Structure 1
Amino acid sequence: MGSMVISGGTDGIGRAVALAHLERGGEAAVIGRDAAKGAAFLEAAAALGAAGRAHFVRADLSLVAGTRAAIEEIRGIFTKVDALVLCARHYRSTRRVTAEGFEHTFALYYLSRFVLTHEMADLLDAADAPVVLNVAGVPGAGADAVDWNDLQGERGYHGMRALAQAGRLTDLLGIASAQDRVSAKARYVLLFPGVVATSFSGEYDAATAAEVEALRAGATPVDEAIVPILDVLEHPPAEPLSAFDAGRRIDVDTPAFDVGPARRLHAETVRLLSPLASAEPGVSPAKLRRLLDRPVFATVATVQPDGSPHQSVVWVTRDGDDVLFAVAVGSRKGRNLRRDPRVSVLLTPPEAPYTYAAVHGTAAMRADGGDALRDALAVKYTGMTYAEHNRDAAARHGEVAMAVVRVTPERVVGRL
Structure 2
Amino acid sequence: MPRTIVITGGTSGLGLGLARHHAGLGDQVVAVGGSEEGGRRLRAEVPSAQFVRADLSSLHQSRELVKRLIDEHPAIDALVLAAFRFNPVRVETAEGFEHTFALYVINRRLMAEGLRGPLENTPAPVIVNLCGAGQGGRIRWDDLQLTAGYRALTATMQGARASELLGAAYASERIKYVLYNPVFVATRLHEPFKQPLRGLVRAGSALFAQPVRKAVPPIAALIAQPPAEPLTAWKKGKPLDLTVDRDEARRFEETVRTLAG
- TM-score where L is the length of structure 1: 0.60
**Distance in 2 of aligned mates of 1:265 and 1:233:** 27
What stretches of structure 1 of length at least 5 have no aligned partner? 275-416
1:74-94 deviation digits (Å, cap 9, x = unpaired): 223211100000000111111
Query: Aligned residue for 1:304?
Result: none
Correspondence 1:307-318 to 2 at 5 A = none
CA distance in 2, matches of 1:165, 1:132: 20
Displacement of 1:18? 1.0
The structure having more radius of gyration, on CA atoms, is 1
The higher relative CO (CA closer than 8 Å, separation ≥ 6) is in: 2
The alignment partner of 2:72 has SS state of coil
Q: Mark the CA change 1:199 to 1:105 in structure 2 (over 3 Å): closer, same or farther.
A: same
Aligned-partner SS, 1:65: helix
Map 1:331-342 onto structure 2 (within 5 A). Answer: none
Aligned equivalent of 1:264: 251
Q: CA deviation at 1:26?
A: 0.5
Figure out how many residues of one structure are paired with residues of the other and give that number.
Answer: 259
Which of residues 241, 246, 268 is equivalent to 2:236?
A: 246
Q: Structure 1, residues 388-407: CA drift from partner, whole Å, max 9, x if none?
A: xxxxxxxxxxxxxxxxxxxx
Does 2:62 align with 1:67? yes
How far apart, CA to CA, are the structure 1 residues paired with 2:174 and 2:210? 33
Q: In structure 2, what is the equivalent of residue 192 of structure 1?
A: 181
- Looking at structure 2, the residues matched to 119 and 231 of structure 1 have their Cα atoms a distance apart, in angstroms, of 25
Residue 114, structure 1, aligned to residue 103, structure 2 = no
2:41 is the alignment partner of 1:40: yes
1:154 corresponds, among 147, 157, 164, to 147
CA deviation digits over 1:355-395, x for unaligned, max 9?
A: xxxxxxxxxxxxxxxxxxxxxxxxxxxxxxxxxxxxxxxxx
Structure 2 unmatched runs, 5+: none
- Structure 2 match to 1:273: 260
Match of 2:8 in 1: 7
Determine if contact 1:93/1:205 at 8 Å carries over to the other structure.
no
Residue 86 of structure 2, aligned match among 91, 96, 104: 91
For residues 235 and 129 of structure 1, what CA distance do their matches in structure 2 show?
8
Matches within 5 A, 1:15-414: 15-46=16-47, 51=48, 54-137=49-132, 139-143=133-137, 145-178=138-171, 181=172, 185-200=174-189, 202-206=191-195, 209=198, 212-216=201-205, 217-252=207-242, 254=243, 257-274=244-261
On the 8 A contact 1:29/1:57 being kept in 2, the answer is: yes
Query: Aligned partners of 1:171, 1:207: CA distance in 2, in Å?
Result: 34
Q: Is the 8 A contact 2:124 2:226 kept in 1?
A: no
- Tell me the alpha carbon deviations over residues 46-100 of structure 1, each in whole angstroms, 9 at most, x when there is no partner: 3xxxx3xx21110000001111111122223211100000000111111111111
C-alpha separation in 2, matches of 1:77 and 1:117:
17
Deviation, structure 1 residue 244: 0.5
Structure-2 separation of matches of 1:247 and 1:18: 19
CA distance in 2, matches of 1:153, 1:208: 23
Question: Cα distance, 1:140 vs. partner?
Answer: 3.0
RMSD value, Cα: 1.6
Deviant stretches of 4+, over 4 Å? 205-208
CA separation of 1:207/1:36 partners in 2, compared to 1, >3 Å: closer, same or farther? closer
**TM-score, scaled relative to structure 2:** 0.94
Aligned-residue identity in percent: 36
8 A Cα contact 2:183 2:236, kept in partner: yes
* C-alpha deviation, 1:263, in angstroms: 1.1
Letter in 2 for 1:39: R
1:35 maps to amino acid: E
The structure that is strand-richer by fraction is 1
Counterpart of 1:89 in 2: which secondary structure? coil
